[in-house]
């Protein structure tokens, strides 16, 4: 097989057939993902499983459910950590958390949450602001394995140590150890945090919204989608936000030149935090 940097014409056809087969067989739609990203991940997956072509992957994925779930994991974005990108969390704490006080109940949606570390980071900020008890955080991803990890709220000590470093960089006045219990070689997030987070499978390429939200966090997920799917997902987010709700993207993502750019005002361009303008309802615009 050719490298992911230069697939042959046959490789490209086989890749398209694989994505079409996944959609028809299982209902997962990856056809709007960035093709260079898909090619790179599939090439790696094919090599790791000792297969000779994308056609071999297609044959096994369509006939073997357990194999398909292994394949599905390669499409799931799992790069995450507690308080990843401290600049964002500092901006969230200063520019968004205080404004959330105006809502009687706060609903947040973390789309593409992976194993949940960033959801718990948000929950920690809400707890420290005295807002957690009137908040519900919906954490969604396409990977059930990742969601299971997030729901358990158990992370290795190296993950926790990295989180402590990030947390301190945000300028936090407290200690991260107040929010977890460490034992042996792992730590579990505090029950107060875990009971406020609802984990569920959700495919941004196909599924509907979770209702009206005050804040949506989807960081470093859109970069894996093509322009059409990016605009589709951003429109979904727009329709899912209440007036004055906040949309938070990754540091390599922006609303500039997107289909929904005119419907948002910029709160913090560096941290990629945007606010939905008045006049655009949560169920249409």
Q: Greater confidence, 239 or 282?
A: 239
Give the Å distances, CA to CA, from 55 to 1, 37, 48. 11, 18, 15
> Final residue of a domain: which of 18, 46, 73?
73
Confidence of residue 280 (pLDDT cuts 50, 70, 90): low
Confidence of residue 278 (pLDDT cuts 50, 70, 90): confident
The pLDDT value recorded for residue 92 is 97
64 and 103 share one domain: no
With respect to residue 144, please indicate whether it lies within any of the assigned structural domains.
Answer: yes
Which of 73, 108, 128 marks a domain boundary?
73
Residue 159 lies in a domain: yes
Question: Where does the pLDDT of residue 4 fall: very low under 50, low under 70, confident under 90, or very high at 90 and above?
Answer: very low
Same domain, 143 and 269: yes
207, 242: one domain: yes
Check residue 96 and report its DSSP letter: I
| Cβ pair 115, 149 in contact under 8 A | yes
Same domain, yes or no, for 170 and 192? yes
Model confidence pLDDT, tens digit, residues 168-183: 999 888 999 999 999 8
Could you tell me what percent of the chain has a pLDDT over 70?
Answer: 95
32 and 63 fall within a common domain: yes
pLDDT in tens, 129-172: 999 999 999 999 998 889 999 999 999 999 999 999 999 999 88
How many domains are there within the chain? 2
- Of 77, 100, 41, nearest to 253 (Cα)? 77
Q: What is the pLDDT of residues 26-80, one digit of tens each?
A: 888 889 888 898 999 999 999 999 999 999 999 999 999 999 988 988 887 667 8
* Residues 91 and 57 occupy one common structural domain: no
Pairing outcome for strands 213-218 and 241-249: parallel
User: Residue 20's domain spans which residues?
Assistant: 9-73
Would you state the pLDDT for residue 77? 62
Are 118 and 64 part of one and the same domain?
A: no
Question: What beta strand segments (E) does 79-212 contain?
Answer: 106-111, 135-141, 154-156, 180-183, 186-189, 197-201
In a domain, 253, yes or no: yes
**Position 95 in a domain:** yes
Predicted pLDDT at 2:
44
Q: Let me know if residue 282 belongs to a domain.
A: no
Does residue 209 sit in the same domain as residue 128? yes
Q: Are residues 191 and 237 in the same domain?
A: yes
User: Domain check: are 95 and 168 in the same one?
Assistant: yes
pTM here is: 0.87
In a domain, 281, yes or no: no
pLDDT digits (tens, 9 = 90+) for 253-269: 999 989 999 999 999 99
The answer on 176 and 147 residing in a single domain is yes
Q: Are residues 59 and 185 in the same domain?
A: no
Q: What pLDDT is attached to residue 69?
A: 87
């Amino acid at each position: 097989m050719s490298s992911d940097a230069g697939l042959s014409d046959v490789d490209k056809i086989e890749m398209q057939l694989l994505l079409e087969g996944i959609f028809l067989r299982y209902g997962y739609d990856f056809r709007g993902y960035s093709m260079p990203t898909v090619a790179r991940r599939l090439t790696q997956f094919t090599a790791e499983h000792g297969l000779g072509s994308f056609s071999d992957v297609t044959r096994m994925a369509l006939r073997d459910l357990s194999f398909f779930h292994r394949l599905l994991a390669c499409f799931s974005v799992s790069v995450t950590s507690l308080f990843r990108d401290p600049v964002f969390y500092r901006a969230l704490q200063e520019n968004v958390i205080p404004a959330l006080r105006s809502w009687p109940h706060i609903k947040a949606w973390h789309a593409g949450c992976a194993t949940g570390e960033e959801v718990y980071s948000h929950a920690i900020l809400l707890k420290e602001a005295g807002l957690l008890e009137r908040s519900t955080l919906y954490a969604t991803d396409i990977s059930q394995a990742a969601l299971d990890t997030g729901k358990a709220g158990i992370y290795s000590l190296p993950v926790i140590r990295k989180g402590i470093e990030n947390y301190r960089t945000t300028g936090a006045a407290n200690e991260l150890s107040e929010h977890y219990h460490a034992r042996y070689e792992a730590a579990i997030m505090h029950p107060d945090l875990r009971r406020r987070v609802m984990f569920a499978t959700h495919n941004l390429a196909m599924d509907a919204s979770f209702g009206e939200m005050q804040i949506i966090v989807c960081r470093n997920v859109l970069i894996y989608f093509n322009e059409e799917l990016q605009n589709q997902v951003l429109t979904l987010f727009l329709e899912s936000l209440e007036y004055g709700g906040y949309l938070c993207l990754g540091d390599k993502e922006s609303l500039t030149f997107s289909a929904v750019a005119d419907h948002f005002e910029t709160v913090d361009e560096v941290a990629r935090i945007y606010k939905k303008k008045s006049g655009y309802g949560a169920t249409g615009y």
